[in-house]
Amino acid sequence: MSPTIEDYLAYLSAVRSLSARTVASYREDLTLFEASCLRQGVTPEAALASDLQAFVAGMVKSGYASASVNRALSAVKGLYRYLVRYGKAESNPARDVESIPGARKLPEFLFEDEMAAFIASAEGDDYGAARDRALFETLYSTGCRVSEMTGMTLEALDLKAGKIRVRGKGAKERVVFLSEPAREALKTWLAFRQAKLKAERACPWLFLNARGAKITERGIAWIIERYALRLGVRKRLSPHGFRHSFATHLVGRGADIRSVQAMLGHESISTTQVYTHVDIERLRSVYERAHPHAAKRPAHTTTASASEDTR
């Protein structure tokens, strides 16, 4: 990889404070871009707008999804903004290269009753059940990213005030709020946590795995997958599904989009606005289940079946 790109990746890590996973994503996209440039017979530093357009066209031809193409183009645009800003290039060839159109996939989420049932399934009076219940309640109460969940510390938790400080993307801190069910679940979890660690072991992290070490993002995802399988949840539920549900339910109950943006820690309002569309999809789902002319299902002809349909 060219020294210029390596310098940019180091800048993203050291100056922009992006996570290792995000920087790795940039590296992957810029590696594809550099390979495309070499096929065009140019270096990334000497590329023209036409070379960038060829890169985009090549990704489309290779079958990449529009979201993947646009993500890669965004990485390339960031590279050239960096080069111009720090005097490493005179012009920005990416400035007028446009993203490709593509349908934005609506995020998966649970309805309120589904979420309540999912959280309630974490029952039992032991370390694992207490931890899982606290995890689910906190995910749903705060709308935090899974990376923010693994980074939660005891020092940042204020149970009495019902809030916790989290470090989000770009190392930006924000305060998120804990519902009463989340606070109660956390109180129970903290008792089990303390017993697990014993007095001689100090650990700053709020959520731990079965061995008493810091829980990982994959560990949280696995816990959710296990419960979803047990409950027969047909949706592809992930930790991010709790975040989507949090935002969708807030918007559905009338929360203004700017407040939801702040709670989610979104830098751009456009990222949050997808949840207004999600709520439309929720209404459509209700409509299709309830309206007699909307759903393609056999008509109910008996009193008994009609009663079943209205429960």
**Which residue among 82, 249, 275, 282 is the active-site one?**
275
CA distances from 223 to 19, 99, 141, 209, 299 (A): 23, 37, 18, 10, 40
**Cα–Cα distance between 140 and 242 in angstroms, integer?**
5
Per the residue annotation, which of 131, 145, 183, 244 is the catalytic one?
Answer: 145
244 in catalytic set:
no
Is 277 a residue of the active site? no
Contacts of 276 (CB under 8 A, 6+ apart): 251, 257
Is 165 a residue of the active site? no
CA-nearest of 231, 243, 130, 134 to 179 is 134
Asked about 169 being catalytic, the answer comes back as yes
Using alpha carbons only, give the angle 233, 226, 67 rounded to the nearest 5 degrees.
Answer: 70
Q: Is 275 a catalytic residue?
A: yes
The verdict on whether 240 is a catalytic residue reads yes
Residue with tokens 């999912």: 118
Catalytic residue, chosen from 77, 167, 240, 300, is: 240
User: Catalytic: which of 169, 196, 214, 300?
Assistant: 169
**Exactly one of 133, 183, 193, 243 is catalytic; which is it?**
243
Closest by Cα among 50, 9, 276, 19 to 170: 19
Tell me the C-alpha to C-alpha distance, in Å, between residue 142 and each of 45, 102, 180, 222. Answer: 43, 30, 12, 20
Residues that are catalytic: 145, 169, 240, 243, 266, 275
